[in-house]
Amino acid sequence: MAAQPPRQRRPQGRGRPQNPARPPRSSQPRAERERPAHNPRDLRRANSEDRQKSPEIDEDVTGKELDRDAASQLTSLTDTNRKWVSKHLVMAGRLVDIEPQLAFEHALAASRRGGRLGVVREAVGLTAYAAGDYSEALRELRTYRRITGDQTHLPVQADCERGLGRPQKAIELAASPEAQKLSGAVRAELAMVVSGAHQDLGDIDSSLRALEIPELNINRAFSFSPRLFSAYAEALRAVGRDEEAQKWARQSHVAEKALGVGAFEDPDIMDFDDEPAEVPTVKELLGKGPVSSGEDASAPTAESAASAVEAAPDAEDAADEQPRES
């Protein structure tokens, strides 16, 4: 019988020998190894290395306050991320009118886990706009347009250009093919922004013509009509047509009364013994448009076009004083 070769001894140590083609395992803690590296091409404020800690969420916010359309866009996220993003979006909607900077921080927090979603980029852009951060708002709303194809916020983008001291850019944006397809409330908002941009450039005639759109109907009142009428009255006054300016100023007041807004808006009365009011939804937050003047970015803005109501031009109780500008 042939002699057996001597048996090879297994190397000391547990498991299989290290594969020389495989890099050695990192000695970093697992949490640090799993943290995604900073992407320099991602220009979101939420992605910056020096970003602030996420703001605290109110105890009563569950995330279920989101409207159905916004919530449906979050279904692609994991359960944990969806809950986080929805809560911060609700907080952004709750605070945008009273603490716009804090609302912006909540939207940025939502963007850290849901930055690929249109509804999140939209919220970041609009809260940045409300907080006066026009460059961030412009960047985010451009991304929102690329993601969704929605042109609703072109007026806000144009107003951001104006806020950055680039009125000519605002005018060029309004002349784009996408802007030419707008109608209703969005077209009215854009017309007021463009009119203001022409004023910035000292072109009062073009400022007047920019407002002469189909929505400028003295016998019909929509949510944007009081501000549109008032802007037109100012433009008429600037070119010396004072009699016409007075008529449109009066009609702005009549439209406010017909719509129950402005001087005729019912004040909010809060009873601290009652249950808290319903949290504004993201859909309500995202329905806001730009201001008609670059002077006050926190002023109330028009919502989507409401049902038209008759606004009689010869109303006896129309006031002669010029209505407040938004």
Q: What is the pLDDT of residues 225-259, one digit of tens each?
A: 999 999 999 999 999 999 999 999 999 999 988 88
- Which CATH class name applies to 154-266+284-326? mainly alpha
Q: Give the rounded percent of residues in the chain with a pLDDT score beyond 70.
A: 64
C-alpha distances in Å from residue 63, one per residue of 73, 99, 117, 214: 13, 19, 16, 40
For residue 36, the model assigns a pLDDT of 47
For residue 54, the model assigns a pLDDT of 86
Query: φ and ψ at 217, to 5 degrees?
Result: -120, 115
Among 44-48, 88-92, 156-160, the minimum mean pLDDT is found in 44-48
Among 21-25, 188-192, 240-244, the minimum mean pLDDT is found in 21-25
The position carrying tokens 């077209």 is 187
Query: What average pLDDT does range 283-301 have in this prediction?
Result: 40
Handedness of CA 129, 131, 132, 135 (dihedral sign): negative
DSSP, collapsed to helix, strand or coil, labels residue 62 as coil
For 209, residues 6+ apart whose C-beta sits below 8 A from its C-beta are: none
Confirm whether 62-150 and 154-266+284-326 share one CATH topology. Answer: yes
DSSP, collapsed to helix, strand or coil, labels residue 312 as coil
Query: What does CATH list as the number for 62-150?
Result: 1.25.40
Q: What is the pTM of this model?
A: 0.69
Q: Are 291 and 299 in contact (CB under 8 A)?
A: yes
Query: φ and ψ at 221, to 5 degrees?
Result: -125, 120
Instruction: Quick: pLDDT tens for 193-214.
Output: 999 999 999 999 999 999 999 9
Cα separation, 144 vs 214, in Å, equals 28
**Where residue 288 falls among pLDDT bands split at 50, 70, 90?**
very low
Per-domain residue ranges of the chain: 62-150, 154-266+284-326
C-alpha distances in Å from residue 30, one per residue of 27, 50, 147: 9, 22, 34
DSSP, collapsed to helix, strand or coil, labels residue 179 as helix
Among 28-37, 84-93, 103-112, the minimum mean pLDDT is found in 28-37
- Residue 279 burial (CB count, 10 A): 18
Residue 294 has pLDDT above 90, yes or no: no
Cα separation, 114 vs 145, in Å, equals 16
**Where residue 299 falls among pLDDT bands split at 50, 70, 90?**
very low
Residue 56 has pLDDT above 60, yes or no: yes
Among 7-11, 144-148, 239-243, the minimum mean pLDDT is found in 7-11
- Residue 302 burial (CB count, 10 A): 27
Q: Tell me the two tokens of residue 116.
A: 């690929």
Q: Are 315 and 214 in contact (CB under 8 A)?
A: no
